[in-house]
């Protein structure tokens, strides 16, 4: 178990006791507020409670320092219902919904792949991939362990196994990858043939099976 200071250990014990006894923990918060007020501890300023999210570490620390006064003498203050001194927790609610933000989305990246792998592109089907790689649909299903349902659920960008390239066509599809690795491009004639072939393949977009 994590070693805690006496204050926090007492606080944790109070939480565990309340849970074990089936009590709600809201009373501990009343105790916290009451202890804070009775002890004359400075309450959090509005700027601390209503700043923009995510707040800075300094603010976080400041708030925690406020709550250090929760336990006095190692004992949890008993709940003292004092409605006039207790602020509803609603004042702490933040209106902005995004917890982690910032930065521009990156474009999809395509790291170079070995020749026995293939990154699925929009409009691809197993039949088409098999044809491009000079193999059969059954072989692709066997290599990737696909059943019939999974074979119809190709996702653009996923990487599937293919037999070692029997034609040079795969190089055309991933030409940029090969360029990055300094390897020669496929001859233009074959590249065009592949592109022409792809253009004839009807897109299956919109026929993606619904999730069950």
Instruction: Specify the residue, 8 or 191, whose C-beta has the smaller distance to other proteins.
Output: 8
Report if residue 104 touches other proteins, rule: CB under 8 A. yes
Dihedral angle computed from the Cα positions of residues 127, 128, 131 and 136, in that order, rounded to the nearest 10 degrees: -20
Region from 27-35, 135-143, 170-178, 192-200 binding other proteins, contact rule CB under 8 A: 27-35
Residues written for the chain: 212
Site for other proteins in 106-125 (CB under 8 A): 106-109, 111, 120-125
Residues 6+ apart with CB under 8 A from 208: 153
Instruction: Specify the residue, 32 or 170, whose C-beta has the smaller distance to other proteins.
Output: 32
Report if residue 179 touches other proteins, rule: CB under 8 A. no
Region from 87-95, 131-139, 173-181, 182-190 binding other proteins, contact rule CB under 8 A: 87-95
Site for other proteins in 144-173 (CB under 8 A): 153-160
Region label for 103, one of left (φ > 0), alpha (ψ between -120 and 50) or beta (otherwise)? left
Per the CB < 8 A criterion, the answer to whether 149 and 188 are in contact is: no
Per the CB < 8 A criterion, the answer to whether 143 and 173 are in contact is: no
Region from 22-30, 132-140, 175-183, 190-198 binding other proteins, contact rule CB under 8 A: 22-30
Pick the closest to residue 211 from 154, 157, 153, 160 (CA basis): 153
Site for other proteins in 125-144 (CB under 8 A): 125
Say how far apart CA 180 and CA 5 lie, in whole Å: 56
Structure tokens at 141: 């299903």
Site for other proteins in 50-79 (CB under 8 A): 51, 53-55, 57, 60-61, 63-64, 66-67, 70
Among 21, 24, 84, 189, binds other proteins (CB under 8 A): 24
């Amino acid at each position: 178990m994590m070693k805690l200071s006496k204050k926090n250990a007492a606080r944790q014990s109070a939480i565990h006791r309340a849970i074990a006894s089936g009590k709600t923990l809201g009373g501990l918060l009343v105790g916290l507020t009451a202890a804070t007020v009775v002890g004359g501890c400075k309450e959090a300023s509005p700027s601390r409670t209503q700043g923009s999210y995510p707040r800075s570490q300094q603010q976080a620390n400041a708030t925690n320092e406020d709550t250090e006064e929760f336990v006095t003498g190692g004992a949890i203050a008993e709940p003292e219902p004092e409605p006039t001194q207790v602020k509803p927790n609603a004042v702490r609610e933040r209106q902005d919904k995004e917890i982690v933000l910032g930065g521009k989305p990156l474009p999809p990246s395509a790291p170079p792949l070995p020749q026995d792998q293939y990154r699925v592109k929009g409009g691809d089907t197993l039949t088409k991939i098999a044809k491009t790689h000079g193999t059969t649909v059954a072989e692709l299903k066997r290599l990737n362990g696909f059943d019939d349902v999974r074979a119809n659920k190709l996702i653009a960008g996923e990487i599937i196994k293919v037999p070692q390239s029997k034609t040079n066509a795969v190089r055309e599809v991933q030409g940029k990858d090969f360029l990055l690795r300094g390897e020669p491009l496929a001859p233009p004639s074959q590249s065009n043939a592949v592109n022409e072939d792809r253009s004839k393949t009807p897109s299956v977009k919109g026929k993606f099976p619904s999730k069950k």
